Structure 1
Amino acid sequence: MSSKLVSSIALTACLLASGAAFADVLYEQAPTADATGLSANLSGDPLLTQTIPSLGSVTLDKINWWGYRDPVNDPFPAEVESFEVYLNGSVVAGVLSSSVVGSLPNTNRSLLKYTLDVTDAPLTATDIGVTNVNDFVGWFWQGAGVDAAGAPLVAFSLEGTRNGGVVPEPGMLVMLGLAGLALRAASRKRA
């Protein structure tokens, strides 16, 4: 294999790997097993909201939240779940997926992580809201402890890109360094 081809492959691999290196968790209130979830559906509190701290200039890619259904009082299958996510009171469109990530201690409830993949856009919102719009589903937004004033927090995270002043991850720097070494070795072989 020619040194030029090896250099091209190394550089391409580094560029592909670095594409994902800039996406990260912008903010997270992780779920806690001992926190009580808050009812967030039409039969309970129709819309819970949570404050989003100022994150500076960021582009939002995904909204994640954790929750569970009450299988004792909710005989309906999971397929009837229908969520709406709000940023500053406006519904956010996207592609929704969910997965079981564990179970809540001393219960027969599965903890699920929901992900709404949204069109990349600047995040300017100061609050997030999630609700299950099917009033037949007993759904709870998992808690994330309490704030300094003792008010309950709910579990969510925001993923995306920090705009401007991004510091590359160490792994990406290593890959770029290896690409530089491969290019240098290739140029020495040609000389």
Structure 2
Amino acid sequence: MMRQLLLVAATLAFACAASRADPAAPASEAAPAGPANQRQPSLADPEKSPSALLPKSEVTGKTPADVVAAAPLATINNPYTGQADKIEAGKAVFQGMGCPGCHGGNGGGGMCPPLTNETWVYGSDDDTLFRLITLGSDGLQKKGFIRVGMENIVGPMPPFGQLIQSDEQLFELLAYLRTLYRGSQKRVNW
């Protein structure tokens, strides 16, 4: 019952924010109601993340760039989290795309942030990470996202939306990235 109430509250908050935009303006020019990644969980209560309550996304086979262009904010939710075969496939994507060159071989960081700790520069929900990998950090900021966490070393994330072949591959990558996390289980919102 509590999850249903939180989902209804999250949906209403999203709808209210969307209704404040100028209806005559094209979607790309609508005035944001605040940071695009404001739906992140609080440190005190990570279960308040609306993204964790969303239904799992459908795998379409489209490029990540096409998925991001069509998906409203806070609607992308990885259907592969915890699936061993998808995690193994995601590890191959991680290695094949050169991710260890910036994030370290085991995700412990390098010239870019670690993927193992509780600090997620833009947020830890699936929607934010899918968009970050697709658009890169500059593209994500242009969409209204702000930094919500700080690391000592934060190199810019390049856009991989045209390099990763499909949403399936990106969901597999996210499933693998979740296995690298070593922070508090109280912060898990996926």
Shorter-chain TM-score range: under 0.3
Which structure has the larger Rg? 1
What TM-score, normalized to structure 2? 0.22
Structure number with the higher helix fraction is 2
